[in-house]
Every structure is written in structure tokens, then in C-alpha cells.
Structure 1
Amino acid sequence: MKKFLNINDIEICIDDTEHGENSLLLIHGLTGNKTTMYPIRDMFKDDYRVITIDTRGHGESTRPKKYTIDDHAYDIHEIIKELSLENVNILGYSMGSYIALRTAEVKCDNIDNLILLCTKPHGKTSSVARLLKEADMDITKVTQEEMMGVILKASLAPQTYEKAINGELNVKELLKGDESQELSEEEKAAEDASLANFDNSKDYDKVTCRTLVIGAEYDGINPPELGREVADGIKDAEFELIKDAGHLVIVEQPDEFKDIVNNFLNQ
């Protein structure tokens, strides 16, 4: 069920399956929104109460002209409080993993398990912005389709990339994102600025919840060695590498991804 929550003086739009004893909160990646996390929601909705969110600046949530990764983290804690979630599990993907980790660094006592998918410890800008700059493209002006064209090769394992190029695999259809919620040039600039010089590596010691980091062998957006660096920095964190997959691991190896997450949450 779609809901709008008044969080920190803005509206945050969420989708809440509402059923399940244990909750799983999903945080989307760069330029994404709650709909881009529906493939993961659908994997776990039979066993968990799954909440997907539009982070501030995205989807149907309020789109401020300026915000930070810390703003996102405080929003997540307020969402947890507003929904009366106890011992919530949080899964963040790409940019969402940076937000999820910062959320745990702010406060961990209401987080049971933390899962960071395709993550990195810090960055001068977003990984996508870096790739676009290397391709001589402006992130504030590029369309979603142009962006996908630039990052596709960096996002997929070689064999999956060949299928996508040959038309054997429709990545866009599998991700099922809502194109009507695409960001404007100004909104993309605000999103990119929110990640400027972020550094989660300074507060690893504040993460006391169980943590799993998942990397993908051919991830050219956030290479797996960066995820392993995060796992090495957090006490007792686990690291899993998914072979034959890139940044779009949930499309390429959905069954292995689901098994890894389930095994971790059920320990």
C-alpha cells in the first residue's frame, strides 16, 4: 500500500506490504525510486513486511533543492519510528547502501540486520557521475536512456552484456522502474551534490548490528574490492561475492542473491 509520511518537514512516499512479523526496508540506488526496488520486494514479500521508499529528492517524495546523505539517514530513522518498526532489517543498493550504512552509523539500536549491496566506503562524487564524466556527458542533462547506455557495460557481466546488446535480455523490463518519475536536470544535480565527498569509513566502529556486504564479480560501478574494504572495516561483518554478475546483480543472479540474503537473515 502506498503511503505518504510527514518526515523531517517533507513528504516521503513509501510502499508498505504491511504483512509479516519481521520487516525489511529497501533503499534504492542513484536516480532510482521505490519502483526500481520492486524486484527485490517481490523476492521477499511472502516472508517479510517489505517497505520500499522514495528517498528525499526522488520518486513521489519531496524534492528539495539541496540535501545530504545525513539527511537521508535521519529520514530513515524517522520512517522506522513513524511505522513503529522494531528490529528492522535494512537493505541498501548502490547509493542506497551508502545511505543504509550512514543510517547505522547514526544509530544502530533499532536495526537488526544491515545488508549493503554493491557498495563503496567513500567517494568524491557518485560512481555513475564518474562514469558519465569519463564518457564526456553531463549527469544533469543526460536522459535515463542515455545514462543506461553509458553504464550498461560497467553494470553487467560480459555474457549478460552480450545478451542485452543482442536483444536477448531486456534489462529495463526486468528492473520495472517507473520512467514517469525521472529526475529533472536540477534534481539530478542536487542528487549528485548530496554524495560529494561522502565518507562512511570514519565511523565503522559505530555499526554494532549484524552486517552483510554483497559484491558482484564484474561490477564496474562499485567494484567488489570496495565492498570488501567496507566489510573489513566493520567488526564481524560478512562478505559474499556473487560470480558472473555485475552491478545489476539482482537481474543477473536473482536466485543466488535471494539465497545469500535469506541465509544471512535466518542465521
Structure 2
Amino acid sequence: MLSADLDDIRLHYRIDGDPDGAPVVFSNSLGTDLRLWDKVIARLPKAGLKYIRYDTRGHGLSDGTPPPYGMGTLVRDVERLMDHLGVKGAVFVGLSIGGMTAQGLAAKRLDLVRALVLSNTATRIATREIWAQRIANVETGGVEALADATMIRWFTPAFRATDEFRFWRNMMVRTSAEGYIGCSHAIAGTDFYTTTAALRLPTLGIAGSEDGSTPPDLVRETAELVPGSQFHLIRKAGHLPCVEAADEYARVLAEFIAAQAH
């Protein structure tokens, strides 16, 4: 287990692949941890690439802090982690809130990010009112209060019928309430439309056709804010296509990384 002491917080992270390879950084979604990327990293090339992933503040084995969190705090967390590891010029892959973190980091520190993968994300996700209700539900009933409705938005009926599904539900409900609430505040307060539209770097948008949290058109519109971007739709997958369609996700991601001569 690896941890980075960033003064006010200790983040859990993991490195796979070639220790001397070009960096690829992954940022997880709300209610998951770095295991979100297990299937994809297992399918990506091992030579010449170093895969870095971490648990977002309040998730997995990373420290939690009292909510609310601002998106700037989450961006600063990974910024400091990358500085701590001496990483620059990474391909940055973010899913959902991780994709928002990616947008914020690229706008702030272009030296750290040479290309973006915006997976199942947007410049703004849902509304302040929706997030306020979700926060209230967690405050009174814990993360369990949101679990069933979230699983319907996240996964296709076919996946929800598998044995694997229950582990993802377990992962979500075991997320700390403070971490879930803190990150929910960060999402609620974020609208990156203007900053993302000003980005000029290689960008790939990835969406799942059955995603009930960030529908494909929303992801496409987000990617298209960046001139010259690409977009890939993974059919028969929901909000976490890296779980439901790992083969296709890894193939598309590997092709994008290779195209950057990374």
C-alpha cells in the first residue's frame, strides 16, 4: 500500500505497469475507489506506460475530512499527488467526478496534463437541488439511502443480474458518509463550461449508451467543447463502462494513448 502525505491529508494510491514508463493517471467516480480501474488496467499494455491511480478524498483508503469539499480542493489533491510523485505530462483519465477533477486540473496545471479522457462526465452534473436532496438523504440515512436508485442509474439490467453487481453496491455503501457528502458538495458547486471550452489539448470523451447519470449526449457535448476532440460511445453499458465493458474501454483507451505518442 502506498500513501502520500500531503500535509492536510494522506492519499492512498497505487502504481502499475512500467515504473519508468510514461504516466497515465486515473481518477475514480463518487462512491467508488481505485479498484474501479482494475479490469481496464489489466487489459492495457504493460511496456512503456506507468499507471497511477488514487482514492479520492473521503473514498477508499484515503483520508476523509469534514464536508463540504470544493472542487478546487479535489483538484489540488491530485495536483499535489502528482507533484509528490514527480509526474508531469500525463494522460489523465477521469470518470464522473474524476472527469470534473480532470477538467479542473487541465485548466490549472497544463504542465501536468498532456491529454484528457473525459469518461461519463460533464462540465456540470445534475442540479444544486438534486445534490441538496441527495446530501440530505445521506445525512439522515447514510449512503445506503441512495444505493438502489444509484445502482439503477449506474448499471444496465443485465449487469445488475450478475454476481459481480453486489460488490459494486457494497463498495458504494461502504463509502464514508463524510466523503460522499463532501464530494457531492463539490459536484453541486461546479460548472466548468467556460474553463473547459478554453482547453486546447487532445481529448477523448467516453460514454455508456445506458448511462442514467451522465447521458451520452451530455458527455459528447462536453468533449466537443475542446476543439479536435474525439468521442466514443460504448453500447449496452451504463455509468461505469470500464466495469461493464472493460475490453472495449481498454481498447479505445489504449488507442488514444498510443495516438499521443505517449
Q: Distance in 2 between matches of 1:7 and 1:43?
A: 31
Distance 1:41 1:162, change over 3 A: closer
SS at match of 2:181: helix
Q: How does 1:1-267 map to 2 (within 5 A)?
A: 2-7=1-6, 9-17=8-16, 19-20=18-19, 21-44=21-44, 46-47=46-47, 48-65=49-66, 66-123=68-125, 125=127, 129=131, 138-142=137-141, 147-157=146-156, 161-162=157-158, 164=160, 167-173=161-167, 175=168, 182-184=175-177, 186-267=178-259
Structure 2 length-normalised TM? 0.85
Number of aligned positions between the proteins:
256
8 Å contact kept, 2:237–2:245: yes
Q: Distance in 2 between matches of 1:126 and 1:52?
A: 29
Could you report, residue by residue, the CA deviation over 1:153-197 in whole angstroms, capped at 9, with x for unpaired residues? Answer: 22234xxx0452xx4443234x5975795213x443222112223
Structure 1 stretch displaced more, 97-106 or 141-150 = 141-150
SS at match of 1:250: helix
Distance 1:163 1:242, change over 3 A: closer
Offset, 1:132: 5.5
Q: Which letter maps to 1:6?
A: D
8 Å contact kept, 1:127–1:222: no
Distance 1:171 1:115, change over 3 A: same
Q: Distance in 2 between matches of 1:123 and 1:248?
A: 15
Offset, 1:100: 1.0
Distance 1:45 1:177, change over 3 A: farther
Q: Distance in 2 between matches of 1:54 and 1:115?
A: 18
Q: Which letter maps to 2:14?
A: D
Q: Distance in 2 between matches of 1:253 and 1:36?
A: 12
Structure 1 stretch displaced more, 42-51 or 191-200 = 42-51
8 Å contact kept, 1:154–1:221: yes
Q: Distance in 2 between matches of 1:198 and 1:43?
A: 33
Offset, 1:131: 9.1
Structural RMSD (CA)? 2.8
5+ residue gaps, structure 1: none
SS at match of 1:52: strand
Could you report, residue by residue, the CA deviation over 1:178-234 in whole angstroms, capped at 9, with x for unpaired residues? Answer: 5795213x4432221122231011112442321111111111110011111111211
Q: Distance in 1 between matches of 2:224 and 2:24?
A: 24
8 Å contact kept, 1:118–1:222: yes
Offset, 1:144: 5.0
Distance 1:119 1:131, change over 3 A: farther
8 Å contact kept, 1:127–1:221: no
Could you report, residue by residue, the CA deviation over 1:120-157 in whole angstroms, capped at 9, with x for unpaired residues? Answer: 12135589848959xxx813344555534212222234
Could you report, residue by residue, the CA deviation over 1:206-264 in whole angstroms, capped at 9, with x for unpaired residues? Answer: 42321111111111110011111111211211111111211131232221111111111
5+ residue gaps, structure 2: none
